[in-house]
């Protein structure tokens, strides 16, 4: 059962608007464009994970997407979990990676190298990332007086075209890296017929309540993050057909000065953009 659905993150919505409305000659236009593309690919990867998770038994598993919880040591800081799966015997934290190209998990330097079109790009090791989240989640559970429950962590590679290589020195840790299509088997494999339930119905109810209550979606000040001034944003109503400004208001309609397209409600999108 999906308890918390995945929705388009505010940060992605804001990046999308900024990408569409930044003045054309701006020095940061490429940075914003590539950040937007990365976030969008990440979100698509997370969405594609949902496709595999639908095979899990609805009654046994409770799924929470995209959680951002306060760190127990410092409530001003948060930790994020792409997907949390709660079962009466255990919880699983899943970090989702949706990267095109060849991926190499490099044990020696705690990094992941992505090679695409002959270009190498390094990322922090996603196993370390999810292990850190696991430690933070364990503290959070303890702080909120939940029973001690086994925690598992996985890194799901959702792009079926990515070629994965893992350093031989990774050892057992490499079992945490899996593809979307083997996810459900892996999860079901954690269920033990001998083990008793750790989370009783009342615990599960309270855990759900706490997770939803403490979840704090990220709402970044995007203009400040990129040091963009208000004057560097193109204002006004954009054409829904050619995606360009400006549109002018005629009687009960908007007219595009580029493509002569007309729209009755193009201002609605402009108002949403303004709010973001």
Site residues, Zn ion (CB under 5 A)? 239, 241-242, 256, 258-259, 261
Of 39, 84, 79, the residue nearest 65 (C-alpha): 84
Residue 141, Ramachandran bin (φ over 0: left; ψ between -120 and 50: alpha; else beta): alpha
Q: Which is nearer to Zn ion, 135 or 259 (CB)?
A: 259
Nearer to Zn ion (CB atom), residue 2 or residue 270: 270
8 to each of 30, 45, 101, 116, 224, how far by Cα in Å?
22, 12, 25, 27, 21
Find the shortest distance in angstroms from Cβ 258 to Zn ion: 4
Beta partners for 67?
81
For the CB of residue 246, give the shortest distance to Zn ion in the complex, in Å. 10
Place of tokens 């892996």: 186
C-beta closer to Zn ion: residue 70 or 245: 245
Closest contact distance (angstroms) between CB of 255 and Zn ion is 9
Q: Which is nearer to Zn ion, 222 or 239 (CB)?
A: 239
Rounded alpha-carbon distances, angstroms, from residue 256 to 4, 233, 274: 40, 19, 19
Nearer to Zn ion, 92 or 247 (CB): 247
CA atoms of 198 and 74, how far apart (whole Å) = 28
Give the nearer residue to Zn ion in terms of CB position, either 222 or 247: 247
**For strand 163-166 and strand 102-106, is the pairing parallel, antiparallel, or unpaired?**
parallel
Q: Shortest gap between Cβ of 247 and Zn ion (angstroms)?
A: 7
Is the distance from CB of 232 to CB of 23 less than 8 angstroms? yes
Least distance between Zn ion and beta carbon 237 (Å): 11
**Could you give the strand order of the β-sheet that contains 151-157, starting from the edge strand earlier in sequence?**
2-4, 62-70, 78-86, 91-97, 151-157, 177-179
At closest approach, how far in Å is the CB of 229 from Zn ion? 27
């Amino acid at each position: 059962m999906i308890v918390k659905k995945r929705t388009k993150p505010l940060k992605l919505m804001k990046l999308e608007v900024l990408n569409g409305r930044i003045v054309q000659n701006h020095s940061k236009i490429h940075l914003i464009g590539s950040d937007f593309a990365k976030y969008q690919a990440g979100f698509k990867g997370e969405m594609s994970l949902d496709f595999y998770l639908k095979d899990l038994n609805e009654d046994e598993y409770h799924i929470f997407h995209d959680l951002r919880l306060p760190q127990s040591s410092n409530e001003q800081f948060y930790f994020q979990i792409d997907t949390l799966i709660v079962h009466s015997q255990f919880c699983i934290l899943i970090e989702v990676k949706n990267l095109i190209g060849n991926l190499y998990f490099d044990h020696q330097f705690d990094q992941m190298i992505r090679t695409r079109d002959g270009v190498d790009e390094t990322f922090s090791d996603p196993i370390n990332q999810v292990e850190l989240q696991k430690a933070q989640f364990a503290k959070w559970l303890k702080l909120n007086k939940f029973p001690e429950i086994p925690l598992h962590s996985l890194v799901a590679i959702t792009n079926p075209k990515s070629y994965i290589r893992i350093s031989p020195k990774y050892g057992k840790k490499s079992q945490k890296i899996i593809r979307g299509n083997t996810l459900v088997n892996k999860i079901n494999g954690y269920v033990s017929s001998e083990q008793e339930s750790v989370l009783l119905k009342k615990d599960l109810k309270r855990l759900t309540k706490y997770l939803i209550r403490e979840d704090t979606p990220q709402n970044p000040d995007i203009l400040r993050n990129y040091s963009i001034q208000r004057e560097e944003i193109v204002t006004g109503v954009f054409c829904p057909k050619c995606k360009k400004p400006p549109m002018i208001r005629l009687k009960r309609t908007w007219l595009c000065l580029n493509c002569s397209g007309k729209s009755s409600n193009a201002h609605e999108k402009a108002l949403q953009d303004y709010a973001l």
